[in-house]
Amino acid sequence: MKALVAFAHALADETRLRIVHLILNEALCVCEIADILEMPQSSVSSHVQVIRKAGLLNSERRGKWVYYRMESRHRKLVQSLDTFFSVSNTLDSVLRADAASAVARLALREQDCCPAPLELATRKPAGALSKC
């Protein structure tokens, strides 16, 4: 029962839902997520911890950076929930904008201070923004 409540709580906030969609298939560190969402790192970190405590994330430490990606066993469930609840056009447009910002952020990753994940990488990184 606690796991179900933690899962629901992790997805019950728009910011956490946006984060979940960003890391559904791509490993990102908090500074990358913060840049994409244009939020303070401390706020993003707090949201990520709620998602992590719900058991939804895989993580990889690279020096002082920690990369997070949705645990594979939860990906299809999150995608099914999107379909079931017919994600609204407003939220859908926000998620599309976040995805476009993520592509731009990742295109700069090689020039960034973040070392990029190794184990959680889904593709060869193209690059990311600074501010770590």
Dmax (CA) of the chain: 44
Cβ burial, residue 105 (10 Å; 0-12/13-18/19+): buried
What Å distances lie between residue 110 and 57, 116, 120, 123, 128, CA to CA? 24, 8, 16, 13, 6
**What's the pLDDT score for residue 2?**
85
29, containing H or E segment: strand 28-29
Query: pTM for the whole thing?
Result: 0.79
Two tokens, residue 33 = 């997520």
Each residue of 84-105: pLDDT tens digit?
A: 666 555 567 888 899 999 999 9
**What is the distance between the alpha carbons of residues 89 and 94, in angstroms, rounded to a whole number?**
9
What is the DSSP-derived secondary structure letter of residue 26?
S
Contact between residue 44 and residue 19 where contact means Cβ atoms under 8 Å apart: yes
pLDDT in tens, the chain (132 residues): 788 898 888 988 999 999 999 998 889 999 999 999 999 999 999 999 999 999 999 999 988 889 999 998 887 877 777 666 665 555 678 888 999 999 999 888 877 777 777 777 764 433 333 344
